[in-house]
């Protein structure tokens, strides 16, 4: 290997072109061992200087075997573009060579090589044009102009000229695509310059080329090959025009007045000509298709022209739709816009009266060769739907619209949609039969897919018509309803028409709800049809289930009609010849739509609960696809959520299949997440009886939070874990091999190591502590404090650190000091907390929580607290007096940061307990800081009491910051319970709240007792020396408060 000197003094190996060629050859061989070795070596060589240049040179050499060239250009595309500016692997001279080769490959005969070259050239242009590749566009335009002259002026038929022309146009389009996507100002300026330079030129190019494939040109029986090439070239010229026009249209309101006027004029003129051109292209295409149909033998050679003409026409449709998407209002104001949209609609009307074989997709799927390509019709429907608001009877300002569509037009449109395009077609029925679940999954995907499917699009057009023209559409649908829906139908065509009508009634439910007798129809017709054994009736039954779900979910009918549940549950469990999988899955979805409503009454649904749960569990098991299983499981989850403890008798029915479903799900994480939600809902439903599920819940939690799995299931697993803890009554479970104690070590591990999940893990820890803090400390004290110590010393967010300290506050309230004192010191946690407070460098939010923790500790066992400080001094090489002074400085200094009265009272009681220890550092501050702190809190309590005495009903007294809220009212603040209402944990939290000294102890009595204890410890004479410096007024106020 050579050594190459690279700019900036970096030394790297320089590639050997000969070795690189051998490696590329090896990658193309049929010998797997050689392929593997070449791949490994190539990966190493990609970091060498000159590799990218050598790869590109191999790709450009047409005397080399094509597979080797293809492999070289693929590797270049994959690796070089992301390192294009790297001076380590490319020199400026090599970049110049590569750019020159890119243009040299414009006459590349192989299409795959040309496609790669186009992508590569455009990506390089994004980096280098115009600064380092200034002649790129000029050179390409020269090639395009020269070859267009040869073809259309000199009438040359040289294949190489046509090839150069195609490749150049494709590259120009790719370059425009790159720059159009740039949002940074420099890129926008380059794009603007390109548009200004090329838009008129390309406009002229297209006019010249398009004259060669007009209807008049067809009358002269042109050569099929030349016709195809002309249309193809016109298509390639039109695509850059679309890129430029769309870009301008998107940014047109951000331009200066002069630019705005010029660009609006150009876009308007372009649109006017495009609107006329699409009509000419459509007529030309139909002429050719009809001619081929009349004489396939003579005209069959024109099929390639038909295909490219179809593609070209669809590009026009995409262009119109893009302009419409970017601004509906501006689009509607474009010249000939209304004529254009109505032209598209006229083609839809024509197609509706044509045989099914003339519309692609009816029988054999999409085709470019039929009279009315399906995609073309859908484009027309989308444009029509989105433009309907411009033709409404009344404008937004309430004035009549002179351009409104007539009643006859609207009614004809509705009839056309419902009778021709909304019914299921033979292709639908075939797919339904071949793969029911997959067909239904496609049907249920609501997204933007409707813009590409004729039936789904028809439904949206109908809905828009009903919204814009309710006075025309509603009476028509009601009349059709009376004629069709109420009559029995047995033959397949009639069933398909009825299904389409039911679909229309569902889509337009909001418009029909006041006029259509839904309840009567449900009782007299739908209930009977749901029981039919006609083998074609699954079509109707599926739509009945969907229809009920639609009407109920859109508040057009109450869910509290037993007949609704009767029909849906019957469809859910019916396995006769008159039903099938699609019906059952649709019924499951409809159940969820009806249950997830505000009006839902669990009491009315109760008689159907057992069958519903049983059949849903069965259907989850029977479904083949993951998507179907998830959909049914989500319905089951909704049932469990809404019926709550009513589902308790069916605990076994729901829970017993879970392990099997979980195992079968494998690595289907979405399904497993749904199953975790199901188990969570069951736990929430059975509450304190949920320990019966430990054999299921504990292994699920363990697996969902295991390495490699938790990245996919951690959130759902943690939700289940929290639910299990909140509803548990004991750490252990003698009747099961599993219990929540088993997974406590995992919680400690995550607390210490996982910063991403820390917010949720602190909630888990809190629930564990409320469940049985003493037992946990007896079994895991060293591990608990080690985990908290590591978590608090980590780079965790302050809010997570605050939550950990709150965990510790609950711990010292829930367990005796004998269980937490020594291990808190041994782990270094107390020293860390004390030093964090004394340093005072952390967030005030964290520091005041540490003060609250220390207040709880000293109130729980003041001697233990003294011992902890005493032991911390030598362990941290600091004087004990220094630690006391720092602690007291922060205790007083952060008092004003404490906004909640309960915290201020806690701080006052904590400092009083410190006074009772007789520590001189504390007593020295008694007549100043401590007296002032107490007086502040005494004053707040007195003020609130006076307000209460004046008006006991005053709601201001229960504001979030009011003192009384926290220890004189019967309930704790809602955040104290952490959404645990309705669980055993709520009772545990309430019990702690009820006995909290902050709530039950009067502050003046408490302070008085602590002062007397301090005096007893220090002696009366010495104690008086501490009080001697007190302000007489302050001293009198204190004495008054203590004697109250």
Instruction: Provide the pLDDT confidence category of residue 421 given band limits of 50, 70 and 90.
Output: very high
pLDDT in the model for residue 949: 66
d(CA 476, CA 140): 59
pLDDT digits (tens, 9 = 90+) for 599-643: 999 999 999 999 999 999 999 999 999 999 999 999 999 999 999
Q: Which of 154-158, 261-265, 314-318 has the highest mean pLDDT?
A: 314-318
pLDDT in the model for residue 953: 56
Give the whole-number percent of the chain exceeding pLDDT 70: 95
1002: alpha, beta or left? (left if phi > 0; alpha if psi -120 to 50): beta
The whole-number average pLDDT for the span 926-955 is 81
State whether residue 723 is helix, strand or coil. helix
Tell me: pLDDT of 959 over 50. no
State whether residue 372 is helix, strand or coil. strand
Tell me: pLDDT of 362 over 60. no
Classify residue 359 by its DSSP letter. B
Q: Are 605 and 592 in contact, with CB atoms under 8 Å apart?
A: no
Instruction: Provide the pLDDT confidence category of residue 964 given band limits of 50, 70 and 90.
Output: very low
Burial of 1002 per CB tally in 10 Å (0-12, 13-18, 19+): exposed
DSSP labels for 324-344? Answer: HHH-HHHHHTSTTHHHHHHHH
Which residue would you say has higher pLDDT here, 399 or 34? Answer: 34
pLDDT in the model for residue 361: 47
d(CA 717, CA 737): 20
d(CA 589, CA 549): 8
- Give the relative orientation of helices 374-387 and 303-326 as an angle to the nearest 10 degrees: 20
Identify the bridge partners of residue 359 per DSSP, sorted by sequence position: 372
Instruction: Provide the pLDDT confidence category of residue 803 given band limits of 50, 70 and 90.
Output: very high
d(CA 404, CA 395): 9
Q: Are 686 and 724 in contact, with CB atoms under 8 Å apart?
A: no
Give the number of C-alpha atoms closer than 13 A to the C-alpha of residue 32, restricted to the C-beta side: 0
Tell me: pLDDT of 892 over 80. yes
Q: Are 314 and 376 in contact, with CB atoms under 8 Å apart?
A: yes
The model carries a pTM of 0.87
pLDDT in the model for residue 621: 95
> In sequence order, which residues have a C-beta less than 8 Å from that of residue 710 and are 6 or more positions away?
704, 717
What does the chain come to in residues? 1044
Q: Phi and psi of 209, rounded to 5°? A: -70, -40
Tell me how many degrees the CA angle 703-706-711 measures, rounded to the nearest 5: 105
237-246, 519-528, 894-903, 969-978: segment of lowest average pLDDT:
969-978
Burial of 358 per CB tally in 10 Å (0-12, 13-18, 19+): middle
Q: Phi and psi of 714, rounded to 5°? A: -60, -45
User: What is the residue whose two structure tokens read 């711990």?
Assistant: 811
Q: Are 584 and 626 in contact, with CB atoms under 8 Å apart?
A: no
Most distant pair of Cα atoms in the chain: their distance: 126
Tell me: pLDDT of 968 over 90. no
Give the whole-number percent of the chain exceeding pLDDT 90: 84
How many Cβ atoms are within 10 Å of 687's Cβ, its own excluded? 18
Q: What separation in angstroms does the CA of 43 have from each of 20, 30, 78, 961?
A: 11, 19, 12, 65
Peptide bond into 130 cis (omega under 30): yes
pLDDT in the model for residue 331: 94
d(CA 613, CA 657): 12
Structure tokens at 937: 């809190």
State whether residue 80 is helix, strand or coil. coil
DSSP labels for 836-891? Answer: HHHH--S-HHHHHHHHHHHHHHHHH-HHHHHHHHHHHHHHTT--HHHHHHHHHHHH
Instruction: Provide the pLDDT confidence category of residue 260 given band limits of 50, 70 and 90.
Output: confident
Burial of 1030 per CB tally in 10 Å (0-12, 13-18, 19+): middle
- Determine how β-strand 11-14 pairs with β-strand 2-5: antiparallel
Average pLDDT, the chain: 92
pLDDT in the model for residue 626: 94
Q: What separation in angstroms does the CA of 298 have from each of 301, 303, 304, 653?
A: 7, 11, 14, 69
d(CA 937, CA 1036): 16
pLDDT in the model for residue 4: 42
The whole-number average pLDDT for the span 926-931 is 95
d(CA 809, CA 766): 10
pLDDT in the model for residue 366: 62
pLDDT in the model for residue 274: 97
Tell me: pLDDT of 215 over 90. no
Which residue would you say has higher pLDDT here, 959 or 421? Answer: 421
Helices first, then strands: H and E counts in the chain: 54, 2
Tell me: pLDDT of 955 over 60. no
DSSP labels for 1-41? Answer: -EEEEPGGG-EEEEP-HHHHHHHHHHHTSS-HHHHHHHHHH
The whole-number average pLDDT for the span 883-890 is 97
d(CA 542, CA 677): 27
pLDDT in the model for residue 400: 83
Q: What separation in angstroms does the CA of 764 have from each of 721, 750, 795, 807?
A: 7, 10, 20, 10
- Where does 894-1019 have alpha helices with state H? 901-916, 920-923, 931-950, 964-967, 974-977, 984-995, 997-1000, 1003-1018
pLDDT in the model for residue 220: 72
Q: Are 929 and 892 in contact, with CB atoms under 8 Å apart?
A: yes
Give the number of C-alpha atoms closer than 13 A to the C-alpha of residue 2, restricted to the C-beta side: 12
The whole-number average pLDDT for the span 261-285 is 95
* C-alpha 15: how far from chain center: 46
Tell me: pLDDT of 329 over 80. yes
Nearest to 338 by CA among 269, 403, 414: 403
């Amino acid at each position: 290997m050579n050594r190459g000197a690279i700019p900036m003094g970096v030394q790297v190996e320089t590639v050997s072109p000969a070795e690189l060629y051998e490696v590329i050859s090896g990658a193309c061989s049929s010998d797997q061992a050689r392929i593997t070795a070449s791949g490994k070596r190539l990966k190493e060589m990609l970091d060498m200087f000159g590799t990218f240049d050598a790869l590109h040179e191999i790709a450009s050499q047409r005397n080399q075997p094509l597979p080797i060239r293809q492999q070289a250009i693929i590797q270049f595309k994959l690796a070089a573009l992301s390192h294009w500016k790297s001076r380590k692997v490319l020199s400026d001279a090599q970049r110049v060579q590569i750019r020159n080769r890119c243009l040299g490959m414009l006459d590349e005969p192989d299409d795959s090589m040309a496609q790669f070259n186009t992508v590569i050239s455009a990506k390089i242009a994004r980096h280098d044009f115009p600064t380092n590749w200034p002649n790129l566009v000029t050179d390409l335009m020269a090639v395009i102009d020269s070859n267009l002259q040869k073809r259309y002026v000199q009438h040359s038929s040289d294949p190489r000229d046509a090839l150069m022309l195609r490749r150049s146009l494709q590259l120009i389009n790719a370059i425009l695509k790159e720059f159009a996507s740039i949002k940074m100002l420099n890129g926008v300026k380059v794009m603007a310059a390109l548009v200004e330079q090329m838009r008129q030129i390309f406009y002229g190019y297209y006019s010249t080329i398009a004259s060669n494939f007009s209807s008049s040109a067809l009358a002269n029986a042109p050569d099929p090959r030349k016709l195809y090439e002309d249309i193809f070239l016109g298509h390639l010229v039109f695509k850059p025009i679309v890129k430029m026009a769309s870009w301008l249209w998107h940014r047109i309101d951000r331009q200066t007045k002069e630019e705005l006027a010029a660009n609006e004029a150009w876009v308007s003129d372009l649109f006017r000509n495009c609107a006329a051109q699409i009509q000419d292209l459509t007529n030309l295409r139909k002429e050719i298709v009809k001619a081929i149909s009349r004489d396939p033998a003579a005209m069959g050679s024109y099929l390639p022209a038909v295909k490219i003409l179809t593609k070209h026409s669809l590009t026009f449709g995409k262009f119109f739709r893009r302009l419409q998407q970017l601004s509906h209002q501006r689009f509607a104001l474009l010249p000939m816009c209304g004529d254009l949209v109505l032209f598209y609609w006229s083609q839809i009307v024509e197609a509706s009266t044509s045989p099914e074989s003339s519309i692609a997709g009816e029988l054999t799927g999409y085709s470019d060769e039929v009279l009315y390509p399906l995609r073309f019709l859908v484009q027309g429907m989308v444009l029509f739907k989105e433009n309907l608001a411009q033709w409404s009877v009344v404008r937004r300002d309430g004035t009549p619209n002179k351009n409104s569509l007539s009643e006859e037009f609207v009614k004809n449109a509705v009839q056309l949609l419902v009778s021709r395009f909304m019914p299921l077609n033979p292709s639908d029925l075939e797919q339904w039969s071949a793969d029911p679940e997959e067909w239904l999954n496609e049907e249920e995907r609501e997204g933007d897919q409707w813009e590409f499917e004729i039936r789904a699009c028809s439904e949206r057009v109908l809905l828009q018509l009903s919204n814009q023209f309710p006075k025309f559409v509603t009476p028509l649908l009601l009349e059709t309803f009376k004629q069709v829906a109420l009559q029995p139908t047995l033959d397949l065509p009639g069933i398909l028409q009825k299904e389409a009508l039911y679909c229309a009634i569902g889509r337009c439910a909001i418009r029909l709800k006041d006029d259509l007798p839904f309840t009567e129809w449900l009782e007299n017709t739908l209930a009977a049809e749901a029981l039919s054994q006609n083998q074609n009736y699954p079509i109707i039954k599926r739509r009945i289930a969907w229809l009920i779900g639609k009407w109920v979910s859109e508040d057009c009918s109450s869910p509290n009609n037993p007949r609704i549940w009767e029909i849906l549950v019957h469809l859910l469990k019916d396995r006769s010849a008159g039903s099938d999988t699609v019906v059952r899955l649709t019924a499951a979805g409809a159940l969820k739509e009806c249950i997830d409503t505000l009006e839902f009454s669990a009491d009315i649904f109760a008689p159907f609960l057992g069958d519903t749960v049983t059949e849903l569990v069965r259907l989850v098991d029977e479904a083949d696809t993951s998507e179907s299983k998830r959909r049914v499981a989500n319905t089951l989850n909704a049932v469990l959520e809404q019926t709550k403890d009513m589902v308790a008798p069916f605990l076994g029915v729901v829970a017993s299949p879970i392990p099997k479903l979980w195992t079968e799900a494998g690595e289907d994480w979405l399904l497993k997440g749904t199953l975790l939600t199901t188990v969570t809902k069951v736990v929430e439903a059975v509450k304190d009886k949920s320990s019966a599920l430990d054999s299921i819940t504990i292994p699920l939690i363990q697996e969902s939070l295991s390495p490699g799995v938790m990245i996919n299931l951690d959130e759902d697993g943690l939700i289940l874990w929290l639910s299990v803890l909140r509803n548990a009554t004991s750490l252990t479970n003698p009747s099961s091999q599993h219990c929540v104690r088993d997974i406590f070590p995992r919680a400690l591990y995550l607390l210490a190591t996982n910063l991403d999940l820390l917010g949720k893990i602190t909630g888990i820890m809190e629930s564990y502590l409320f469940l049985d803090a003493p037992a946990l400390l007896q079994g895991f004290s060293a591990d608990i404090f080690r985990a908290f110590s590591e978590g608090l010393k980590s780079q965790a967010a302050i809010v997570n650190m605050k939550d950990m300290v709150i965990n510790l506050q609950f711990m010292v309230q829930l367990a005796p000091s004998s269980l937490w004192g020594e291990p808190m010191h041994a782990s270094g946690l107390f020293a860390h907390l004390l030093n964090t407070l004394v340093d005072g460098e952390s967030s005030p939010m964290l520091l005041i929580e540490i003060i609250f923790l220390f207040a709880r500790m000293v109130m729980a066992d003041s001697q233990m607290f003294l011992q902890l400080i005493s032991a911390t001094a030598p362990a941290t090489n600091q004087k004990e007096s220094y630690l006391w002074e720092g602690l007291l400085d922060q205790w007083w200094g952060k008092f004003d940061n404490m906004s909640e009265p309960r915290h201020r009272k806690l701080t006052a009681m904590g400092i009083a307990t410190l006074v009772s220890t007789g520590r001189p550092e504390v007593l020295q501050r008694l007549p100043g800081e401590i007296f002032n702190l107490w007086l502040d809190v005494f004053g707040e309590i007195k003020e609130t009491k006076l307000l209460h005495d004046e008006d006991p009903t005053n709601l201001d007294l229960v504001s979030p910051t009011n003192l009384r809220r926290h220890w004189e009212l019967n309930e704790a603040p809602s955040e104290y319970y952490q959404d645990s209402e309705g669980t055993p944990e709520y009772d545990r939290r309430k019990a702690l709240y009820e006995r909290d000294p902050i709530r039950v102890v009067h502050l003046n009595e408490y302070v008085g007792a602590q002062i007397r204890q301090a005096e007893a410890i220090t002696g009366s004479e010495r104690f008086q020396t501490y009080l001697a410096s007190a302000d007489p007024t302050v001293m009198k106020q204190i004495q008054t408060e203590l004697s109250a």
